[in-house]
Amino acid sequence: MPEMRKDPLRDGWVIIATEQGLKPQNFPINKGSVYAEKNLQPCPFCEGHEEETTPEITAFRRPGTRANQPGWTVRTVTNKFSPFRLVGDFQLEQDGLYTSHNGLGQHEVVIETTEHGLEFHKFSVEDIEQVYYMLRSRYQALRQDRRIKFIQIYKNRGLFAGASQ
């Protein structure tokens, strides 16, 4: 299981997830430019590719549509490659100068729209409201778990931001 280790020199935390090792093919970057090479694979976050993500936690859907199928407007799934798992209890370990704890946590991905590449500032007011309702809903659900002590919401977009499934 992954763990978090305290860096005593920088006074920060580092995630250690050896089973998540990345390979050179995981970085499709053209070394001669700052642009990523065009990915010819369908995007797993696009509507119609729901089977390529983890099962949805929740979604706002059009009437008559089913979970993990097309018909959603905003969708939340767990990150497929998260080093965190919401399993067991928090375990802190001290060994002299070193401190670590297990990778207890939850990393979720909120898919804001079915329209691939649509920038947030171009969303309708209703679409923006749905995204915020989803964020609030997930925050409220996660805070009910006594093991969770910190919730951070951030927008992570694109290859250079580290976005993944």
Predicted structure pTM score? 0.79
Question: Residue 109 has what pLDDT?
Answer: 93
Question: Residue 81 has what pLDDT?
Answer: 83
Question: Residue 34 has what pLDDT?
Answer: 45
Give the E-state strand segments of 35-161 in sequence order: 56-61, 72-78, 92-95, 98-102, 108-111
Q: Could you give phi then psi for residue 121, rounded to 5 degrees?
A: -70, -10
Classified as helix, coil or strand, 101 is strand
Structure-block tokens of residue 118: 């649509």
Alpha-carbon distance of 20 to 81, in angstroms, equals: 7
Residue (of 37, 19, 20) closest to 28 by Cα position: 37
Residue type, 43: C
* 65 neighbors 42 (Cβ within 8 angstroms): no
pLDDT in tens, the chain (165 residues): 788 999 999 999 888 887 765 555 555 555 444 444 455 567 889 999 999 999 999 999 999 999 999 999 999 999 988 888 899 998 999 999 899 988 889 999 999 999 888 899 999 999 999 999 999 999 999 999 999 989 999 887 765 555 555
Question: Residue 62 has what pLDDT?
Answer: 96
Question: Residue 84 has what pLDDT?
Answer: 87
